[in-house]
Amino acid sequence: MIDRQIPQERLELLWVLAYAAAAVFILRLVNLQVLGGAHYREIAERNRTQIISQAAPRGRIFSSDEVALVTSKPSFSLIYFPGQAKTAPEIDRMARALARPLGADYEDLRRNIYKAASREKPVRLAENLPPKIMLALSELKAIYPGVDVIVEARRYYPFGAYLSHLSGYIGKMDAKDWASRSRDKNYSMDSRLGKAGLEQMYEKELRGKDGGIYLEVDSRGKLNRVLESRKWVPGADIFLTIDSKAQAAAEEGLEKSISGKGAVVALDPRSGAIIAFASMPDYDPNMFVMSGSEKEGLPAGKTLPEFNVALQGSYPPGSIFKIITSAAILESGRVGTDEKFRCPGYYDAGSRIFKCWEKRGHGSVAFIDGLAKSCDVYFYNASQRAGALAIEKYSRAFRLGQLSGIPLSGEKTGNVFGPSARAAKKSYWFIGDTLNLAIGQGETLMTPMQAAGMIAAVANGGVFHRPYYVDRIVKSDGQLFYQGKPETLSRVQLKDSTWALIKEGLRSVVQEGTGQAGKITGAEIYGKTGTAQNPQGKDHAWFVAYATVNDEPSRIAVAVLVEHGEHGASAAVPIAKAVIEAALRSELPSKNKPAAAIALPLVPKLPQPATVPVRGVL
């Protein structure tokens, strides 16, 4: 008989393997039930539930005088809940009946309903529905079971295009947005988020926590019942440094200008806080949240003017650049402040005649009169004494060719024009280049934001602050989340006598020179007009100015550009005057206080809705 007894060693090995397998099974069980219990319960819960999200109100945006410039209002979305099976003809009839009041494409609507029916999952058919179509939808609800409406919060810009280039707008999430936010539970593929301006820069702070209707589904994803309706949490409110009246004056002035195009930037020289920020043409941010029916009648394919002239427009500065040229002349010590140059209306450079804007000439002119009357011939002569390199040096000191540092995307640097810049291109520098440089022509380019920074630095004695527009951010529970504060970027080092002479010259510009239209009773105005040659059409008009009241430090400096405005004195000066009067309204005599350019009532807080049922919302 053959002995088939298993050796003891093999038997022990089998027991070891059995114990090991049992240990692995127990460890896996512990991992599933204890260590990963919460995770797997969450997955199971997600498989058991579906969510119809309800967009929370984004945080409001207020001006410095607490006018609600951007807010939210109740909005309605159409939802289809698949129920009992429907035949193809029934779905077609439903899609056709809904397409008419929604102003939607029948085929797209029909496709979405078929998809929802085949997957047995709810689908959002339309959003941001205006009240005028709600009656029609309420009648269709009674005819087509499964069609319902939920209330959400819709972004709303109560004053339309007002401050649009700063506030920005929101839009639907695209593939790029979803790729970066797909793991964020507060976003879904149909969420809206900031696309430009404040809405984009402060998306995280403005976005609230969405609410939603939680639905129970079976293993096949079929709807069983409504579990609950969770409330939303509003986003944080942003309080700007923008003065609503000064902003209104800036926008109204640009809109009524000769071209209706340009920019206004007003800063507080003490801190860099932005008081007004306007760019024309502008756009209505409500366009980006309109429903299909609301867009009926609008021009097809219309391009909205999103170009921000204040930050992205680079222009020859013309005679406002003479402020920088003055700094170079006075600091060089090569031109006496009382030294006069004769202006016959032109300057003979040998190979070319350079004209003064005043064809009759200014006669014999020293520095103060040269700046006050903006005499080109004076600056032609004095700039050659100072040298082009000195002018280029102070161009850089006044931050030309650099970003202002404002927290907005798309800002341009302008362009510094000078011998070293030309040498870098391995090109020659001619006497005509120096003459063009002296009066802000040639290749020198400046943005309105840079012009505002330049005149603010003159007002405060040479300090460049980072421009900022957010004063504070407050959470929905009232907690202060952020407080804006000044930040110094650089300083222009000039002799006290140089600053004093430049300021005296700027005061003379308004008192007896080219900027007399900018006089304001009760305030001392210092400014400089500019007319920049434009090879593409009519000249651009500039004016930069700052104001003081009762010898106190200036709290407003403003730069105005009117595209194709032809003359700074006639096109740009009145706009700057209106902005300054609006900003200083509480300090000026009553007869100088401007009437409100537009009515800006306070907008109340959007109330938190009660639990929203899936049926019978209307």
> Rounded CA gap, 504 and 519, in Å?
15
> Rounded CA gap, 435 and 83, in Å?
80
Report pLDDT for 83.
63
* C-alpha gyration radius of the chain: 33
Name the pLDDT band for 607 (thresholds 50, 70, 90). very low
Of the listed ranges 209-218, 277-286, 415-424, the one predicted with least confidence: 209-218
> What strand order describes the sheet that includes 49-54?
49-54, 211-217, 223-230
Name the pLDDT band for 51 (thresholds 50, 70, 90). low
Q: What is the mean pLDDT of residues 546-566?
A: 96
> Rounded CA gap, 265 and 275, in Å?
8
**Overall pTM > 0.85:** no
Report pLDDT for 618.
23
User: 301 pLDDT exceeds 70?
Assistant: no
Q: What is the mean pLDDT of residues 99-110?
A: 80
Report pLDDT for 339.
96
User: 616 pLDDT exceeds 50?
Assistant: no
Q: From its phi and psi, is residue 346 left (phi > 0), alpha (psi between -120 and 50) or beta?
A: beta
Which residues pair with residue 211 across a beta bridge? 54
How many CB atoms are located within 10 Å of the residue 448 CB? 28
Any alpha helices (H) in 76-232, and if so which ranges?
Answer: 88-102, 106-119, 134-143, 164-167, 175-181, 197-201, 203-206
Report pLDDT for 3.
52
Q: What is the mean pLDDT of residues 62-90?
A: 82
User: 300 pLDDT exceeds 80?
Assistant: no
> Rounded CA gap, 501 and 512, in Å?
16
> Rounded CA gap, 368 and 326, in Å?
10
Of the listed ranges 25-29, 390-394, 462-466, the one predicted with least confidence: 25-29
Q: 576 versus 138: which is more confidently predicted?
A: 576
Closest CA to 554 of 545, 562, 546: 546
Is residue 544 within 8 Å of residue 559, measured between CB atoms?
yes
Task: Quick: pLDDT tens for 223-240.
Answer: 566 666 778 889 999 999
Mean pLDDT of the chain: 84
User: 362 pLDDT exceeds 70?
Assistant: yes
Q: What would the CATH number be for the domain defined by 244-288+307-475+491-587?
A: 3.40.710.10
Q: What is the mean pLDDT of residues 423-446?
A: 93
Name the pLDDT band for 31 (thresholds 50, 70, 90). low
Closest CA to 101 of 295, 293, 298: 293
Closest CA to 469 of 200, 266, 615, 284: 266
Report pLDDT for 611.
33
How many CB atoms are located within 10 Å of the residue 150 CB? 23
Q: How far is CA 451 from CA 331, 460, 579, 583, in A?
A: 21, 15, 16, 19
Our CA dihedral for 592, 596, 597, 603, rounded to 10 degrees, sits at 160
The phi and psi torsions of 543 (rounded to 5 degrees) equal -155, 130
Name the pLDDT band for 198 (thresholds 50, 70, 90). very high
Q: 226 versus 454: which is more confidently predicted?
A: 454
Q: 141 versus 4: which is more confidently predicted?
A: 141
Is residue 588 within 8 Å of residue 549, measured between CB atoms?
yes
Is residue 170 within 8 Å of residue 288, measured between CB atoms?
yes
Q: What is the mean pLDDT of residues 281-291?
A: 85
Which of 135-139, 288-292, 543-547 is predicted most confidently? Answer: 543-547
Q: What is the mean pLDDT of residues 502-529?
A: 97
Q: How far is CA 59 from CA 110, 172, 206, in A?
A: 36, 18, 5
Name the pLDDT band for 50 (thresholds 50, 70, 90). low
Name the pLDDT band for 412 (thresholds 50, 70, 90). very high
- The three-state secondary structure class of 184 is coil
User: 544 pLDDT exceeds 70?
Assistant: yes
Report pLDDT for 225.
64
Closest CA to 146 of 228, 90, 227: 90
> Rounded CA gap, 544 and 59, in Å?
35
Our CA dihedral for 27, 33, 39, 41, rounded to 10 degrees, sits at 150
Report pLDDT for 295.
52
Q: 23 versus 438: which is more confidently predicted?
A: 438
> Rounded CA gap, 161 and 264, in Å?
15
Report pLDDT for 604.
38
Report pLDDT for 223.
55
User: 613 pLDDT exceeds 50?
Assistant: no
Task: Quick: pLDDT tens for 248-276.
Answer: 999 999 999 999 999 999 999 999 999 99
